[in-house]
């Protein structure tokens, strides 16, 4: 029987491939070369900020499907930063010590737009990054998702739960794609000794999300700021647990630096219905906001809440930012980009 990290007793993983001698050189010991795929996106750009501030040398590859160069504008002229327009479906050869593999559209609207491309990104993109990790001896972290649990029959979701996923539905390109990506990670680990880390991320929000990204938090905040009705998809009682982006990035870095392969849930266990989310946005972003109900999309999971016991025990991580404190930070960023004046309401101050 496999343990919680997926290792099978009696068949230990091979030792990892040798990293470049530069990794142990005195000159570069504390300065890692880090590749971030999808680094021009929402989560990736915040991760790049943290890695650059820690003094590492960072290479971003991105095809700009949902990300933008402007998310990285603060680093574009920095000597330790490099941005490459590249699609991870094609192989990539670079010398790096760590790979944060994020490249993949995350909003359901975008990942359903071209489902064949989404699954190619998840499968071929992850194969290419694992091939690179094997070749150069890099440690690789995959940003997997709570969508691997599908419409969960176990609540809250622990990493041991195998999920309830429709293999042929409109979300399958993403959730089955990520499940195959996790499989590839463990097969490269067991067969080739690649050092892997897997984070299962739960719905994350914050500044720099695409304003018309289509995810629920960005939709509600943008709608409230624009004076439009928030679109609560029916029934409105479905739940999500929302994590602020700085908490997520902290969890990803701890996972990469730690000794556990994962998969480890990274998310905020505070659970909200979509109606409660709309009410919170009204309270802390715009007291005049209102909502309307609209039809939902197929296979929408009814509930999501992470069990974060593993993250607490193995990474010493738990989220710090409450939804009522994170939303105004996001609203400020959205208001600036929309050129709308915004004063956080009293409840948020
Ligand atoms: N934000 C969340 O709530 C959440 C939850 C679970 C998992 N994740 C995962 O975290 C990662 C980042 O999510 P995000 O919210 O920042 O999304 P995002 O859409 O803002 O960022 C994804 C980035 O990947 C790039 N990209 C997409 N396909 C690519 C390809 N084929 N080649 C190169 N670049 C490509 C996009 O241009 C974009 O910059 C994704 O892997 C996503 O599945 C995010
Ligand atoms: O947590 C995760 O693992 C996943 O979180 C989100 O997926 P999801 O939560 O389904 O995406 P949203 O579009 O934010 O939808 C959340 C809920 O809000 C509802 N919703 C969405 C948009 C809207 O305008 N109104 C609305 O009520 C949806 O019906 C759904 O129940 C991400 O976008 C996925 O990439 C990620 O993998």
Strand partners, 293: 232
Residues with CB under 6 A from ligand 1: 37-38, 40-44, 62-67, 87-89, 102-106, 121, 125, 143, 145, 201, 203-204
223 and 259, same domain (yes or no): no
The four Cα atoms 108, 109, 114, 116 give a dihedral, to 10 degrees, of 10
Q: Return left, alpha or beta for 140; rule: phi > 0 is left, psi -120 to 50 is alpha, else beta.
A: beta
- Identify the domain containing residue 115 by its residue range: 31-205+243-266
pLDDT for the residue 4: 47
**Is 313 inside a domain boundary?**
no
pLDDT for the residue 344: 79
233 and 165, same domain (yes or no): no
146 and 290, same domain (yes or no): no
Determine which one of 100, 174, 188, 205 is catalytic.
174
How confident is the chain (349 residues) per 10-residue block, as mean pLDDT? 46 68 63 96 98 97 97 97 98 96 96 96 98 96 97 96 96 97 98 97 97 94 97 97 98 97 97 98 95 94 96 98 97 95 67
297 and 221, same domain (yes or no): yes
pLDDT for the residue 18: 75
Q: Is 232 in the pocket of ligand 2 (CB under 6 A)?
A: yes
Distance from C-alpha of 29 to C-alpha of 132, rounded to nearest angstrom? 21
CATH code: domain of residue 112: 3.40.50.720
Ligand 1 atom 13, closest CA: 106
84 and 178, same domain (yes or no): yes
56 and 194, same domain (yes or no): yes
Nearest CA among 305, 285, 210 for reference residue 218: 210
**Is 299 inside a domain boundary?**
yes
**Is 24 inside a domain boundary?**
no
146 and 77, same domain (yes or no): yes
Q: Which residues contact residue 336 at a Cβ distance below 8 angstroms, ignoring those fewer than 6 apart?
A: none
pTM to 2 decimal places: 0.94
Q: How many residues does the chain have?
A: 349
119 and 155, same domain (yes or no): yes
37 and 68, same domain (yes or no): yes
Distance from C-alpha of 301 to C-alpha of 294, rounded to nearest angstrom? 16
Quote ipTM for the complex: 0.97
107 and 200, same domain (yes or no): yes
250 and 290, same domain (yes or no): no
Q: What is the DSSP string of 173-222?
A: HHHHHHHHHHHHHHHHHHHH---EEEEEE--EE-TTS-TT---HHHHHHH
pLDDT for the residue 19: 73
> Which DSSP letter does residue 122 get?
H
**103 touches 47 (CB < 8 A):** no
pLDDT for the residue 83: 98
CA end-to-end distance (rounded Å), the chain:
51
Phi, psi angle pair for 105, to nearest 5°:
-65, 140
Q: Out of 202, 215, 238, 299, give the residue to mutate to test ligand 2, the one with the largest number of ligand atoms within 8 Å of its CB.
A: 215
174 as an active site residue: the answer is yes
Backbone CA torsion sign across 119, 240, 242, 149:
negative
Phi, psi angle pair for 235, to nearest 5°:
-85, -10
**Is 9 inside a domain boundary?**
no
The number of distinct structural domains making up the chain is 2
250 and 329, same domain (yes or no): no
């Amino acid at each position: 029987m496999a343990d919680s990290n997926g290792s099978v007793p009696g068949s230990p993983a091979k030792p990892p491939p040798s990293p470049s001698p530069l990794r142990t050189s005195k000159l570069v010991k504390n300065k890692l070369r880090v590749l971030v795929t999808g680094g021009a996106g929402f989560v990736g750009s915040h991760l790049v900020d943290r890695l650059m501030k820690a003094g590492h040398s960072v290479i971003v590859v991105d095809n700009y499907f949902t990300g933008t160069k402007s998310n990285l504008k603060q680093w574009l002229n920095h000597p330790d930063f490099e941005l490459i327009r590249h699609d991870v479906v094609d192989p990539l050869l670079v010398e790096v010590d760590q790979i944060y593999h994020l490249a993949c559209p995350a909003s359901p609207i975008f990942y359903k737009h071209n489902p064949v491309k989404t699954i190619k990104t998840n499968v071929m993109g992850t194969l290419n990054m694992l091939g690179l990790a094997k070749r150069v001896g890099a440690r690789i972290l995959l940003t997997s998702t709570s969508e691997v649990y599908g419409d969960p029959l176990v609540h809250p979701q622990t990493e041991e739960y195998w999920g309830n996923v429709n293999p042929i539905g409109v979300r399958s390109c993403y959730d089955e794609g990520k499940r195959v990506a996790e499989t590839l990670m463990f097969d490269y680990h067991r067969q080739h000794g690649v050092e892997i880390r897997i984070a299962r991320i739960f719905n994350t929000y914050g500044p720099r999300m695409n304003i018309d990204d289509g995810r629920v938090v960005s939709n509600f905040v943008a709608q409230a700021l624009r004076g439009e009705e928030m679109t609560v998809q029916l029934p409105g009682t479905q739940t999500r647990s929302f994590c602020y982006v700085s908490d997520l990035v902290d969890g990803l870095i701890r996972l990469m630096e730690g000794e556990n392969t994962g998969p480890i849930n990274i998310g905020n266990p505070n659970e909200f219905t979509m109606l409660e989310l709309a009410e919170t946005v009204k309270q802390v972003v715009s007291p005049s906001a209102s909502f309307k109900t609209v039809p939902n999309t197929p296979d929408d999971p009814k509930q999501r809440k992470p069990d974060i016991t593993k993250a607490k025990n193995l990474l010493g991580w738990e989220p710090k930012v409450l939804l009522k404190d994170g939303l105004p930070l996001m609203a400020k960023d959205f208001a600036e980009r929309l050129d709308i004046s915004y004063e956080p309401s009293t409840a948020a101050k």
